[in-house]
Amino acid sequence: MKQNKGFFAHVFLTGLLIFVFFGKLIPDINNLYFSRDGDGFRTYFGMYYHAKFDTSYHRLDGMNYPFGEMIDFTDCQPPVSNFIQFVSKHIVDISGYTTGIVNGTMLFSIFLASIFLFLIFRKLKLPNWFASAVSICIVFLSPQIHRMGGHFSLGWMFWIPLSIYLLMLFDDKKSYWISLLVGISAFLAGAMHFYMLAFWLFLFAPYWLFRWVMKADYKFSWKDLIHVFIQIVLPFILLEINLIVNDDVVDRTANPWGFYTYRGHFAAVFLPLFKWYIPFSNNLSFAQKFDWEAFSYIGIVASVGFFLLTIRWIKGVIKLRKMTSITGNKILDYLLAISFLVLLFSFGVPFIFGLDKLRSFLGPLGQLRGVARFGWMFFYVINIIVFYLIYNKLFLGKKGFVGKIITFSLLSVFAFEAWVYSGGYQNNLNNRIPELENENDHFYQSLAALNIDTSKYQAILPLPYFHIGSESSWIDNRCDIMKHSFILSMKTGIPNVGMMGARTSILQSYKNIELVRTPWVKYRVIDEYPNNKPLLLTVAKCDELNTDEKRLVENASLITTTPNFDLYQMPLDSLRAIPAKYNFPQHYSDLTDSIKSHISEGKTDCFFESNGNLNCGTEKLKGIKVSNDFQRILETSMTFDMSKKVYIRFWVKDYVKDMVVRTPLLIIQDKTNHELLEEKYTDIWRHIRSFNGDWALVEIVLEPKQEDEIVKLLFKNSILDGQDFYFDEFSVSQKEF
């Protein structure tokens, strides 16, 4: 009875503090947007569109039109959005409450995380008051709190405490029911976000090795394999089957960008950087180099506790000349060991030591680029262990009253840091989007007055165009067009050509990107459209449209104007006519001083040799072996007109092959005596101008530094090291295309 009172007291206190920390958000939670743009608003849009307009539980057709995308690759929380879709279509329409459900479940996950942490401490036989205080401090210092501002699935913080609690339960009693709970939880966590499945695998897979190899008092049983299958293999298989059966894309990147950019760092985990109560931390030079993803600060108490534990353990090993327990509890020893190894992985160990090629052996884990997030497991584990030992060694130890004073002091420090971290965060989440609240704003009045039938349009093409997710090309959201075009899709049900997801098909991406690049022969994506309805161009009121986007607008007809964007109708026949109307192949052929290759004429094969010479013989097109070091592919001397820009142009083959257009380039401008004027690092994808079959035309624009210069172009690609790379038809000129 006493235990139940303690539990319910903790439930009440957790709920009360969630209201204190986030109470401003709760009364109108369905009209608040924790993120008004970026990844967060993409999730709001995707989940609402999926629930309201999609006919499949597996695909989101609101983006990347006409192809759509697997909902698993859009961070749209498939278990939640599919629940909303099912209820809305078979019971009662709740799609209008999607925003509130997204927000509410994130806040509720804080509550659940606190509950499971409390249960962990109770299992460790700590008293209710202490378990409650520490659990609440942990959740409000959790690095996952700040994920609620954009990465909503990662903001569900109860998955890691739940996995730890289930592991402790199973370690006490090998029950098939517990294994089943583990398997179901792992499946749901993985369906929410692949990173959460990785946490479960990191926790449970090594556990069995720990039991079989490290625990001398445990004997292997063949029944263990059933538990392993239920806990680890089955959830993974079910998630893989879902992808295999429902995903027809075969060209997702195997090398997502950001593994080394989005990794953790020792200082960002153990030091209170950028805290107002330690002002000098803002001036530490090394702290300025971290990406925000690196920060998984564990708290000053846990930091000091970890180092004291480490020193004590090392002394014990040296003295006894054998491995000793660091916590006095075998399951806690395991949790500390595995979470520390995972923490090292979050730092990029061992790959940062020149062992990058080992990443190819990681399998699905190689797809998880934001490895800094794996430091979260260490955050929870080290705080559980340190405060478990504080209570047992200090509060109950021989230090008596002094130990109790120290314990309360450490709890106060922990609570202070949690308050600093989360105390004012609700202000960052308290955002409104008037266009989604007011049906009578200027835009909708215009639609009504003009009697525009939105069912007559097959897709929205946002301009300036945005496309994020293929990893092969990155076209940022500009002029807030993502938000405006997504709102238009939400209000009308018209799918969007724009894309913001992850691991999108490379070929599909470039078929859509081709719409906003210089057309060569045709816009291939038109052949993919299911009907002949026109496109609805949503054109932002800004000056950031490129030349090709402006050309689309010039060939469309204005429908209406709003304060933020204009709407144009683009008939498909008008779109089809643009390539022939402007005849860019002929224009390109006229302006270039380079030889005519098979790209434009279909007659002569040319290739650039590794020594930098252009060979236009009768041999077949040869490739240059890619190297991990920069090698020269162009060097030419030119006399420049200082009033005009310089254009380096060349074609690259197989641009839809993974990593080809992510090839780094080094552009060097030298004086005639080879003294450096300027060097610039870039990538091929940033400069793609047009497409023709398997070839992409690359155009790099430079400013001349002096009249007589030597221009050099070098390339390298560590991922494609040793493979053939095909270039053709190089030119350096000052003629615009």
What is the overall mean pLDDT for the chain? 86
6 token code pair: 């303690």
User: Does residue 595 surpass a pLDDT of 50?
Assistant: no
Coil, helix or strand for 632? Answer: strand
Distance separating alpha carbons of residues 73 and 60, to the nearest angstrom: 9
User: What spatial distance separates the first Cα and last Cα of the chain, rounded to whole Å?
Assistant: 81
526-580: pLDDT as tens digits: 999 999 999 999 999 999 999 999 999 999 999 988 888 899 999 999 999 999 8
Q: What is the pLDDT of residue 439?
A: 57
Q: What is the pLDDT of residue 619?
A: 40
Out of 44-48, 151-155, 170-174, give the one with best mean pLDDT.
44-48
Q: Residue 501: name the closest of 127, 112, 194 by CA.
A: 194
Coil, helix or strand for 400? Answer: coil
582 token code pair: 């402007």
Over its C-alpha atoms, the chain yields an Rg (Å, rounded) of 29
Confidence band, pLDDT 50/70/90 cuts, at residue 281: low
Listed in sequence order, the residues at least 6 apart from 648 whose beta carbon sits closer than 8 Å to its beta carbon are: 634, 667, 698, 699, 700, 702, 711, 713, 730, 731, 732
User: Does residue 53 surpass a pLDDT of 60?
Assistant: yes
User: Does residue 512 surpass a pLDDT of 90?
Assistant: yes
593 token code pair: 């001083």
472-492: pLDDT as tens digits: 888 999 999 999 999 999 988
Q: What is the pLDDT of residue 52?
A: 93
Distance separating alpha carbons of residues 714 and 681, to the nearest angstrom: 10
Distance separating alpha carbons of residues 597 and 589, to the nearest angstrom: 10
Tell how far CA 713 is from the center of its chain: 32
Distance separating alpha carbons of residues 701 and 487, to the nearest angstrom: 35
**Residues 393-400: contacts with CB within 8 Å, 24+ apart?**
395/130
Listed in sequence order, the residues at least 6 apart from 8 whose beta carbon sits closer than 8 Å to its beta carbon are: none
300 token code pair: 């000053």
Phi, psi of 699 (to 5 degrees): -130, 115
Distance separating alpha carbons of residues 317 and 207, to the nearest angstrom: 23
Amino acid in position 610: S
Q: Are 157 and 109 in contact (CB under 8 A)?
A: yes
Q: What is the pLDDT of residue 121?
A: 96
Q: Are 732 and 603 in contact (CB under 8 A)?
A: no
Q: What is the H or E stretch that residue 725 is in?
A: strand 724-725
User: Does residue 631 surpass a pLDDT of 60?
Assistant: yes
For the chain, counts of helices (H) and of strands (E): 22, 20
∠323-329-333 over CA atoms, to 5°?
55
Strand residues in 609-645 grouped as ranges (E): 614-615, 624-625, 631-639
Confidence band, pLDDT 50/70/90 cuts, at residue 592: low
Q: What is the pLDDT of residue 594?
A: 43
**Residues 282-291: contacts with CB within 8 Å, 24+ apart?**
290/265, 291/261, 291/262, 291/372
Distance separating alpha carbons of residues 245 and 454, to the nearest angstrom: 33
Q: What is the H or E stretch that residue 697 is in?
A: strand 695-702
Listed in sequence order, the residues at least 6 apart from 547 whose beta carbon sits closer than 8 Å to its beta carbon are: 518
